[in-house]
Amino acid sequence: MIYLRTIAARVLALLICLVAANAVADDVASIESPGALLRVTLAINGEGRVSYRVDRKGQPVVGDSRLGFILADAPKLERNFIVVDSSSRSVDDTWEQPWGERRFVRDRHNELRVRLREAKAPVPAPAARELTIVFRVFDDGLGLRYEFPEQAALREVNITDELTEFDLIGAETAWWIPAGEWNRYEYLYNRTRASEVGQAHTPITFRRADGLHLAVHEAALVDYSAMWLRRVEGTRFKAMLSPAAEGARVKRTAPFTTPWRTLQIADRAAGLYMSSDLILNLNEPNVLGDVSWVKPHKYVGIWWSLHLDTESWASGPRHGATTTNARRYIDFAAANGFRSVLIEGWNRGWEADWFANGDSFSFTEPYPDFDLEGLAAYARKKGVHLMGHHETSGFASHYEAQLGAALDQSARLGIEAIKTGYVADAGGAKFQDADGSVRFEWHDGQAMSRHHLKVVTEAAKRRIAINPHEPIKDTGLRRTYPNWVAREGARGMEYNAWGVPPNPPEHEANLFFTRMLSGPMDFTPGVLSLKGRNGQPFQSTIAKQLALYLVVYSPIQMAADLPENYARFPGPFQFIKEVPVDWQETFVLDGEVGDFVTVARKDRASEDWYVGGVTDEIARTLTVPLEFLTAGKRYRAHVYRDGTDASWDRNPFAIIIEKRDVKRGDRLELRVASAGLGVDW
């Protein structure tokens, strides 16, 4: 069965706007978004240098911005261009997600494709070279990418630098994390003036003085280096490709296309999250066919105790992954309706300094005190599944060498999903070649983009889902490979165990408008005990732990706390047991980047709606207009909200659980105490 069902597909008339170069400045082609909100214009200047700009409602959003490449072994591809031809088309297509924030996604855009050729062959190239630039323009943003056609003059393409610029007119404030630093994506978000950004990962979010919100990211990062964004001057930014261990940052053979460089544009912060559909729309449809074996679900596991350091990954007296302990978690999962049980530290290799010992990991051999076969059978009997765990410490090729055997074994044991891990400093992803030579790559360079897709596609052959930690960033590839269910790629719950500092109250209100624009995150919410290592308190209320199931979307969500802690909080735990992980529809009701957000999601399997809200260190009253409910229907709201005297630093456990009868048109006013709330009805 093909799971992605196209319910409407239309290709409308060609829309071409070719303007003679000498008539209106240097503009050579332009295209509008379907609702005429955005216009993208391509220009060529006197030296044949190509640039683009973006206007919204007639006002500039992206000023004249360069395009092109620096190549390692050929003259740069930037000047001397003329337009060979240009075409456009309109698409209005709605497709069905196998799982996601919403069931149906509308892809409505106009595409402009401009074929460029150098006016004369550059010295020492043998002939003039060609490059095609493609824009897809939606009403809430755009994607642009390059196509390197097959051509004798440029077969092996060795890219040292991509020259794509984003001159973000009027960008005032930026929310960003640094790129090219040791901790991959696990930084607290900076809020600075846009003109003070250094080198940032994407998604990066901007706000202008007029309230317009922008986010720069990329879509369909396949066999290419990730794009970082480096500020050039003022609020002009440029693509900076993640480095390679050796030579050019990207090595490809033409023909090929680059990832899409994306810009999301919204009047309000809330609209920015909604515009992320364009990231999915710019990815290729599902290539896996029937993916009904990818099961959105909630899981528990031997995990939080390891981060609290009360149990260990390594074997020995504190070993967490023992047969007895695993049976306890399986029983807990079965009793409370969790589909799977993650068990970390089950396999050989965790001794000593495992951060540095990726070569000692076996991905098939359990520790002697962990009866893998027996536990898989026990789980099966109880109606639950083991979740695999493959920590590589970043030694990617060591993992690849065992990948087939490890996945075969996992499939045989009924494992439906595997959490992988790449704990190594950025730039420390290790590859050993057949001749024994070793290379250290960036976590988001071309080598790792290939590695991750290899793991995902090999897993798909065995009907296994993949959830990498310390991953490459999400660029919407879940559309093409729906078994790539989630990833980490930001500071998650673990920082509340041992982070210095732990996650601050504003963290999730930052994540929602930055990291979460890219796709699902395995944040591992639901630690109701609110204490990290050595009793260090969280900067969260208990209600916020519930709200995270709605605010931080993932089709697989952990109930991350210890079973004995859930026994202490049966009321809030009831919400964790009930909250769905797969949605029919999602609406962002309100929010400001880094301040607060309220989001409403409709269960994919019922008529129930859920609303989650989080705030930062400032208590607020969040208004929830119930416009999304069906008219004429009665609903009962189960409200889990901060107690009237709750606050994250003085009274985090105060929670009110109550029921209210509501209907469409009602408004809920809910006080949130530097924390969050969860409502379902």
Amino acid making up residue 282: L
Residue whose CB is less far from ligand NOJ, 456 or 486: 486
Q: How far is the CB of 423 from Ca ion (least distance, A)?
A: 7
**How far, in Å, CA of 230 to CA of 241, rounded?**
10
421 binds, among ligand NOJ, Ca ion, none (CB under 5 to 8 A by kind): ligand NOJ
Q: Which does 162 bind (CB under 5 to 8 A by kind): Ca ion, ligand NOJ, none?
A: none
Residue 239 to residue 232: CA distance in whole angstroms: 10
Catalytic: which of 494, 506, 607, 669?
A: 494
Contact positions with ligand NOJ (CB under 6 A) in 471-510:
488, 494
Say whether the peptide bond before residue 203 is cis (omega within 30 degrees of 0).
yes
Query: Active site includes 494?
Result: yes
The entry of ligand NOJ, Ca ion, none that residue 344 binds, CB within 5 to 8 Å by partner kind: ligand NOJ
Contact residues for 85 (Cβ-Cβ < 8 A; gap 6+): 114, 115
Which of 671, 670, 622, 673 lies closest to 647 in space, CA to CA?
Answer: 673
Q: For residues 30 and 40, is the Cβ–Cβ distance under 8 A?
A: yes
Pick between residue 165 and residue 488 the one whose CB is nearest to ligand NOJ: 488
**449 phi, psi to nearest 5 deg:** -65, -35
Evaluate the CA torsion angle 540, 541, 547, 548 in order and state its sign: positive
Residue 391 interacts with which of Ca ion, ligand NOJ, none, CB < 5 to 8 Å by class: ligand NOJ
Residue 118 binding partner per list Ca ion, ligand NOJ, none, with a CB distance cut-off of 5 to 8 Å that depends on partner kind: none
* From 120-128, 250-258, 465-473, 624-632, span contacting Ca ion (CB under 5 A): 465-473
Site stretch for Ca ion (CB under 5 A), options 72-80, 222-230, 464-472, 542-550: 464-472
- Closer residue to ligand NOJ in complex, CB, 74/465: 465
Closest distance of CB 281 from ligand NOJ, Å: 30
Binding to Ca ion (CB under 5 A): which residues in 469-498?
A: 469
Secondary-structure breakdown of the chain: helix, strand, coil percentages, each rounded to the nearest 5: 20, 40, 45
Sign, Cα dihedral of 440, 441, 447, 453: positive
Q: Shortest distance, CB of residue 308 to Ca ion, whole angstroms?
A: 15
Complex with ligand NOJ: residue 107 or 391, whichever CB lies closer: 391
Q: Which of 26, 167, 218, 344 is in the footprint of ligand NOJ by CB under 6 A?
A: 344
User: What is the nearest approach in angstroms of ligand NOJ to the Cβ of residue 368?
Assistant: 21
Distance in Å, CB of 495 to ligand NOJ, minimum = 10
**CA 277, 283, 284 angle in degrees (round to 5)?**
130
Q: Are 83 and 99 in contact (CB under 8 A)?
A: no
Q: Residue count at the site for ligand NOJ (CB under 6 A)?
A: 8
Strand partners, 395: 430
Given the complex with ligand NOJ, which of 162 and 488 has the nearer CB atom?
Answer: 488
Among 423, 619, 656, 657, binds ligand NOJ (CB under 6 A): 423
Please tell me whether the peptide bond between 501 and the residue prior to it is cis, using omega within 30 degrees of 0. Answer: yes
Q: State how far the Cα of 28 lies from the Cα of 85, in Å rounded to an integer.
A: 10
CA distance 366 to 352: 17
Q: Considering the complex, what minimum distance in angstroms separates the CB of residue 547 from Ca ion?
A: 22
Cα 526 from Cα 578, distance rounded (Å): 13
- Specify the residue, 131 or 314, whose C-beta has the smaller distance to ligand NOJ: 314
* 311 lines the binding site for ligand NOJ (CB under 6 A): no
Within a 10 A sphere around the Cβ of 557, how many other Cβ atoms?
28
The closest of 538, 560, 501, 552 to 188, measured between CA atoms, is 501
**DSSP for 542-591?**
HHHHHHHHHHS--SEEE--S-HHHHHH-HHHHHHHHH--S-EEEEEEEEE
Least distance to ligand NOJ from the beta carbon of 388, Å? 12
Q: Which of 63, 68, 100, 421 binds ligand NOJ (CB under 6 A)?
A: 421
- Please identify, using beta-carbon distances, which residue of 207 and 307 lies nearer to Ca ion: 307
- Residues 375-414 binding ligand NOJ (CB under 6 A) are 391
Q: Report the nearest approach of ligand NOJ to the CB of residue 442 (Å).
A: 18
Strand ranges across the sheet with 59-66:
27-32, 38-44, 50-56, 59-66, 165-168, 236-241, 227-233, 199-200
- Give the per-residue contact string, 437-476, with ligand NOJ (x = CB under 6 A; - = no): --------------------------------x-------
User: Per DSSP, which regions of 267-335 are E strands?
Assistant: 297-302
Choose the binding region for Ca ion from 359-367, 463-471, 534-542, 631-639 (rule: CB under 5 A): 463-471
Residues annotated as part of the active site: 494
Binding residues vs Ca ion (CB under 5 A): 469
* Residues engaged in binding ligand NOJ (CB under 6 A): 303, 344, 391, 421, 423, 469, 488, 494
